[in-house]
Chains A and B, each alone.
Chain A
Amino acid sequence: MSSHVYPAPHFRSFEQQHEASELGMWGFLCTEILFFGGVLCGYTMYRLLYPQAWVHGSELNSLWLGAAMTVVLLASSLTMALAVRAAQLGQSKAIVGFLAVTIALGIGFLVLKGYEYYGHWVHHLVPGFNFSGYQAPDHPQVALFVVFYFFLTLLHAVHMIVGVGVLSVIAMMARRDRFSAIDHGPVEIAGLYWHFVDIVWLFLFPLLYLVGAHQ
């Protein structure tokens, strides 16, 4: 028997509570789109101004590493969806299992990302600190691309770290049998957030890795 069989006191019913929290997450994700949107707007403007520099810049990133991260993240979205399905069926053990895999894949993504950053650091490709690793044409404009690369991927990585934290809390709650087939809102909402962060990456990958490959 789970401990929360009644909705929070200011709601009239479970349906209302569920609707409110789900809509709340969708609303929050809209703010996130605009949060990333401001930077993507700047990215688009400079890409139109300096198309050649954007090609050179994206060639500084390893296509294979980016592709590997994309695969890892997509796999984590699958396990997240399975965790939500398990929650709808009220299978607490399955929730914990799928979430653990999701968290592991998320951490795997972050490790790959850190490895990539490490590569940029040792090759002196970090604008603002040391950008002597790139000496070819359009130097300042390529640096601008790398600024966008770092800013967007760091912003995304921060969201990933938050997501891993949230999923860990949810997994712990699931272990204590907190969720049931009618009361599992937090799992679904965390799922929405996780998928959103994945989708952001699906935009970042082509924008930051495939500009040169597209030529």
Chain B
Amino acid sequence: MTNPEWITEPLAPPSYLNNGYGWRSWFLTTDHKRIALLYLISITGFFFLGGFFAMMIRLELLTPQPDLLQSDTYNRFFTMHGVIMVWFFLIPSIPTVLGNFLVPMMVGAKDLAFPRLNLLSWYLFMIGGILAFSSIVIGGVDTGWTFYTPYSTTYSNTHVLWMALGIFIAGFSSIITGLNFIITIHTMRAPGLTWFRLPLFLWSTYSTSLILVLATPVLAITLVLMGLERAFGIGIFDPALGGDPLLFQHLFWFYSHPAVYIMILPGLGVESELISTFSRRNVFGYRYVAMASVAIAVFSFLVWGHHLFVAGQSVYIALAFSFLSYLIAIPSAIKIFNWMATLYGGSISFETPMLYALFFIGLFTIGGLTGLFLAALGIDVHVTDTYFVVAHFHYIMVGGMVVAYLGGMHYWWPKISGRMYPERFGQVSAFLIFIGFNLTFFPQFILGYLGMPRRYHAYAEGFQTLNVMSTAGASILAVGYVLPLFYLAWSFFRGPLAPTNPWGATGLEWKTASPPPTENFEETPVVTEETYRFPVREEMLV
């Protein structure tokens, strides 16, 4: 008699994935890892929704004439693209998915400090997201994602209040997530895990959380004031009643410029992990890289005025903001140079996450340096509200953050899913994204410099060649984004089982099973050394 199959089949060890299958076990879970997956699915949905609007914008811009979209529709589409991508993809992306999954594991804890609040944050996020997105169903919003007054308060006939309410609610989700990370990193570190032993991902998550917690309330109150002005005409932003529309821009950018760093700092953290692991070297200048994250978070609150250079701000204030904007380039550059030094002499391999990491360095550098153009008062006047600005921030947001997010997703995918993704597919899609991205956005620098304004659905005929290149690049980019959706989903169920530490990486999360058990570690780990401890170079040469 042969053994029945269930005897020879090894039982999967208990993990957070097989700990309950019903809908309650997911929708009422307080397990940070399951909440991370809820976020992953939600923000992936929002990413492709936002991507759809981007694709429609690019298709309209294929020809100089308005043909695919009417101007009103076009306005609604770029507003929707901006709102979804900023608040419902980029800001939550790395913090809520990788951060939720990794912060407790990296500090050696069983969960975040406030697990129920963590679940609440997902519900608030979903309510906010559905509200904001549903505004397109009832007629859309045409103000752009910045809601500048007096257009948003007096002149726009669209559903501004509806969308602002969605963003207001989602803001509390950000605040809760940020608070949860800060408190967890402060109070729940494993014995021996001192501040300067923390992985750099945690330093950047911590800095991001500071911004989330301190900037988001200002956005919330600004949106409330904007909504009241629109609903009741109370006058705060209305010059006819003694108010000042510029106050809105100051308050809005006091949040939104730091928010720009919410959208890149977590990417910088992922980058440090990837570079170190795939060059098998300790991060060069660990303390400088860590402190650079904190410095970026602090400086981020002091530069908002560079969005107002042409808005009628005092020229002396503008000078100060220009100078401060230059300053914030320093910590970013410190990071780039330290990664270079980490790579130098490393034993580098080119798995998918490392490809993303290397692309990140190039794209982030271009995005950062063109940011300096915009921080310079004279050049900014020339390129304000042109495609140069669009290209600049897409190099940071997409070339930086989305690339880092995908790199991080591939890197931690074996830990999250317990399965390996198909390496070849990963490398191909990484290259597609790199090529497609540059083809989409590099021509936009030239377009902007030549004077093509943003937010118009029609343009002068001379700009068509570059616009066609950009749209062609966007379609390559789209293929590059859809591919991982399929092969990662496939590997989640069918991929080969992942070992505990497939990359030979350091860090506590690689010391527990893949996928981890619900309580993360069988017993609380005790940390006795620095995070990054690869064999030093001389030993490797022997």
Contact = CB atoms under 8 A, between A and B. Distances in A.
A45 B248 CA distance: 12
A28 B180 CA distance: 10
A119 interface: no
A151 B244 contact: no
For A9, A34, A35, A141, which residue has the most chain B Cβ atoms within 10 angstroms? A34
B247 interface: yes
B182 interface: yes
A116 interface: no
A42 B244 CA distance: 10
A36 B222 CA distance: 10
Contact of A34 (B182, B218, B225): B218
B221 A39 contact: yes
A41 B251 contact: yes
B217 A31 contact: yes
Contacts of B233: 128
Interface string B4-20: 00000000000000000
A19 B213 contact: no
A35 B221 contact: yes
Interface string B87-129: 0000000000000000000000111111100000000000000
B225 A16 contact: no
A128 B232 contact: yes
A65 to B, nearest CB: 23
Nearest to B31: A10
A27 interface: yes
Nearest to B117: A24
Contact of A144 (B113, B216, B242): B242
Contact of A10 (B109, B213, B244): B109
B213 A38 contact: no
Given A16-B188, A19-B187, A20-B188, A35 B241 contact: no
Contacts of B64: none
Interface string A142-171: 011001000100000000000000000000
Contacts of B115: 10
A140 interface: yes
Nearest to A24: B183
Interface residues of A, number: 37
A20 B183 contact: yes
B214 A34 contact: yes
B268 interface: no
Nearest to A8: B115
Nearest to B176: A28
B225 A42 contact: yes
Contacts of A121: none
A214 interface: no
B214 A38 contact: no
A27 B183 contact: yes
For B186, B216, B220, B242, which residue has the most chain A Cβ atoms within 10 angstroms? B242
A140 B242 contact: yes
Given A16-B188, A42-B251, A127 B221 contact: no
Contact of B217 (A24, A34, A42, A147): A34
Contacts of A19: 186-187
Contacts of A127: 232, 234-235
A31 B242 contact: no
A144 B235 contact: yes
Contacts of A37: 217-218
B228 interface: yes
B212 to A, nearest CB: 9
B502 interface: no
Nearest to A18: B187
A38 B114 contact: no
Contacts of A36: 221
Contacts of B225: 38-39, 42, 151
Contacts of A147: 234-236
A203 to B, nearest CB: 15
Contacts of B114: 20, 24
B383 interface: no
Interface of A: 9-12, 16, 19-21, 23-24, 27-28, 30-32, 34-39, 41-42, 45-46, 49-50, 53, 127-129, 140-141, 143-144, 147, 151
Given A11-B188, A35-B217, 12 more contacts: A16-B188, A23-B182, A23-B187, A27-B183, A31-B175, A35-B218, A41-B251, A42-B251, A45-B247, A49-B244, A128-B228, A143-B235
22 contacts: A10-B111, A10-B115, A19-B187, A20-B186, A23-B183, A28-B179, A31-B213, A34-B214, A34-B217, A35-B217, A35-B221, A38-B225, A39-B225, A41-B250, A42-B247, A42-B251, A46-B243, A46-B244, A128-B228, A128-B234, A140-B241, A144-B241
Q: Which 9 A-B pairs have the closest CB atoms?
A: A128-B232, A38-B221, A35-B217, A10-B111, A10-B110, A34-B217, A20-B113, A20-B187, A140-B242
